[in-house]
Structure 1
Amino acid sequence: MQYLGVEYSVKHMPELDPDFIPFGVWLEAYARGAEKPLTIALERDQGKISVRETKIHGTPEMAEADYRYVERYVKFLLWSIGGFRIWICGDSALAQRLQRAYTLSGERAFDVQFMQDVYEVPFEVIDCTPEQLPQANESSVAIGGHMEGCRIGFDAGGSDRKVSAVIDGKTVYSEEVVWHPKTEPDPQYHFNGIVEAFRTAASKMPRVDGIGVSSAGVFIGNSPMVSALFLKVPREKRELVKTIYDRAAREIGDVPIVVANDGDVTALAGAMGLECGSVMGMAMGTSEAVGYVDAEGKVLGWLNELAFAPVDLFEDAMADEWSTDIGVGCKYFSQDAVIKLAPRAGIELDSALTPAEKLKVVQNLMEKGDSRARRIFASIGAYLAHTLKLYCRFYDVHHMIVLGRVMSGLGGSVILETCLSILNEEYPELAQKVRVMLPDEKTRRVGQSVAAASLPELRKNA
Structure 2
Amino acid sequence: MSHHIFQSIEKEISPRIRPRYDPQFLPLGKFMAWYREQARNSQEEIRLALERENQLVSTWRDKILPLSEETLPLTQVYMERLVKFLLWQKGGWKIYFQGPEILYSRLKELYSSEGERKFDVNLMSTVYEQPFQVTAVRGRSFPEEVDSPLVLGGHFEGGRLGFDLGASDFKVAAVQEGQVVFSQEIPWSPQEQPDPEYHYRHLQQGLKLAASHLPRVQAIGGSAAGIYINNQVRIASLFRAVPRELFEKRVKNLFLELQKEWGVPFEVINDGEVTALAGYLSLNRTAVLGLAMGSSEAGGYLNRQGHLPGWLDELAFAPVDLNPEAAVDEWSGDRGVGAMYFSQQAVNKLALAAGFQFAVEERLPERLKRIQALAEKGDDRAINIFQDIGIYLGYTAQLYSLFYDYQTLMILGRVTSGPGGDLIRQEAERVLALEFPELREKIEIHLTDEKSRRVGQAVAAATLPEIRKEG
Query: Which of the five TM-score ranges fits, normalised by the shorter chain?
Result: over 0.9
**What CA deviation, in whole Å up to 9, does each residue of 1:144-165 have, x standing for no partner?**
0000011111222222222222
Q: Residue 100 of structure 2: which of 80, 91, 94 is its match?
A: 91
Q: Residue 350 of structure 2: which of 341, 344, 352 is its match?
A: 341
Instruction: Verify the 8 A CA contact 1:96 1:127 in the aligned structure 2.
Output: no
Q: Structure 2: 5+ residue runs without aligned partners?
A: none
Report the RMSD for the aligned CA atoms in angstroms: 2.0
CA distance in 2, matches of 1:121, 1:99: 17
> Is 1:145 the equivalent of 2:154?
yes
Q: Residue 25 of structure 1: which of 21, 30, 52 is its match?
A: 30
Cα distance, 1:74 vs structure 2: 0.1
Q: Tell me which residue corresponds to 1:249.
A: 259
**Cα 1:343–1:185, aligned 2, differ >3 Å: closer, same or farther?**
closer
CA distance in 1, matches of 2:318, 2:92: 14
Q: Structure 2 length normalisation: TM-score?
A: 0.93
Residue correspondences, number: 461
Q: Tell me which residue corresponds to 2:121.
A: 112
**Cα 1:458–1:77, aligned 2, differ >3 Å: closer, same or farther?**
same
Cα distance, 1:446 vs structure 2: 8.3
**What CA deviation, in whole Å up to 9, does each residue of 1:337-373 have, x standing for no partner?**
2222224333333344212222222222222222222
* 3-state secondary structure, aligned to 1:174: strand
Cα distance, 1:133 vs structure 2: 1.9
> Is 1:169 the equivalent of 2:174?
no
Q: Residue 359 of structure 1: which of 350, 362, 368 is its match?
A: 368
**What CA deviation, in whole Å up to 9, does each residue of 1:312-333 have, x standing for no partner?**
1111111111000001111111
**Cα 1:86–1:296, aligned 2, differ >3 Å: closer, same or farther?**
same
Q: Tell me which residue corresponds to 2:48.
A: 40
> Is 1:16 the equivalent of 2:25?
no
* 3-state secondary structure, aligned to 2:148: coil
CA distance in 2, matches of 1:390, 1:38: 20
CA distance in 2, matches of 1:151, 1:394: 34
> For residue 456 of structure 1, what is the amino acid of its counterpart?
P
**Cα 1:93–1:445, aligned 2, differ >3 Å: closer, same or farther?**
closer
Q: Tell me which residue corresponds to 1:394.
A: 403
**Cα 1:445–1:410, aligned 2, differ >3 Å: closer, same or farther?**
closer
> Is 1:378 the equivalent of 2:387?
yes
CA distance in 2, matches of 1:326, 1:79: 15
Which region of structure 1 is more displaced relative to structure 2, 2-11 or 220-229?
A: 2-11
Instruction: Verify the 8 A CA contact 1:156 1:216 in the aligned structure 2.
Output: yes
> For residue 50 of structure 1, what is the amino acid of its counterpart?
S
Q: Tell me which residue corresponds to 1:183.
A: 192
CA distance in 2, matches of 1:44, 1:297: 22
**Cα 1:348–1:181, aligned 2, differ >3 Å: closer, same or farther?**
closer
* 3-state secondary structure, aligned to 1:251: helix
> For residue 92 of structure 1, what is the amino acid of its counterpart?
E
> Is 1:298 the equivalent of 2:307?
yes
Instruction: Verify the 8 A CA contact 1:194 1:248 in the aligned structure 2.
Output: no
CA distance in 2, matches of 1:280, 1:349: 34
Instruction: Verify the 8 A CA contact 2:294 2:413 in the aligned structure 1.
Output: yes
**What CA deviation, in whole Å up to 9, does each residue of 1:74-112 have, x standing for no partner?**
000000110000011011111111111112211111101
> Is 1:239 the equivalent of 2:244?
no
* 3-state secondary structure, aligned to 1:327: coil
Which region of structure 1 is more displaced relative to structure 2, 381-390 or 172-181?
A: 172-181
CA distance in 1, matches of 2:428, 2:389: 8
> For residue 249 of structure 1, what is the amino acid of its counterpart?
Q
What percentage of aligned pairs have identical amino acids? Answer: 46
CA distance in 2, matches of 1:338, 1:125: 36
> For residue 224 of structure 1, what is the amino acid of its counterpart?
V
- Superposed, 1:208-223 pairs within 5 Å as 208-223=217-232
* 3-state secondary structure, aligned to 1:324: coil
> For residue 325 of structure 1, what is the amino acid of its counterpart?
D
Instruction: Verify the 8 A CA contact 1:2 1:8 in the aligned structure 2.
Output: no
Cα distance, 1:9 vs structure 2: 4.4
* 3-state secondary structure, aligned to 1:346: coil
> Is 1:135 the equivalent of 2:144?
yes
Q: Tell me which residue corresponds to 1:448.
A: 457
CA distance in 2, matches of 1:356, 1:86: 38
CA distance in 1, matches of 2:173, 2:380: 40
Q: Structure 1 length normalisation: TM-score?
A: 0.95
Q: Structure 1: 5+ residue runs without aligned partners?
A: none
> Is 1:318 the equivalent of 2:323?
no
**Cα 1:112–1:340, aligned 2, differ >3 Å: closer, same or farther?**
same
* 3-state secondary structure, aligned to 2:184: strand
**What CA deviation, in whole Å up to 9, does each residue of 1:301-320 have, x standing for no partner?**
11111111100111111111
**Cα 1:444–1:75, aligned 2, differ >3 Å: closer, same or farther?**
closer
Instruction: Verify the 8 A CA contact 2:26 2:323 in the aligned structure 1.
Output: yes
Instruction: Verify the 8 A CA contact 1:212 1:258 in the aligned structure 2.
Output: yes
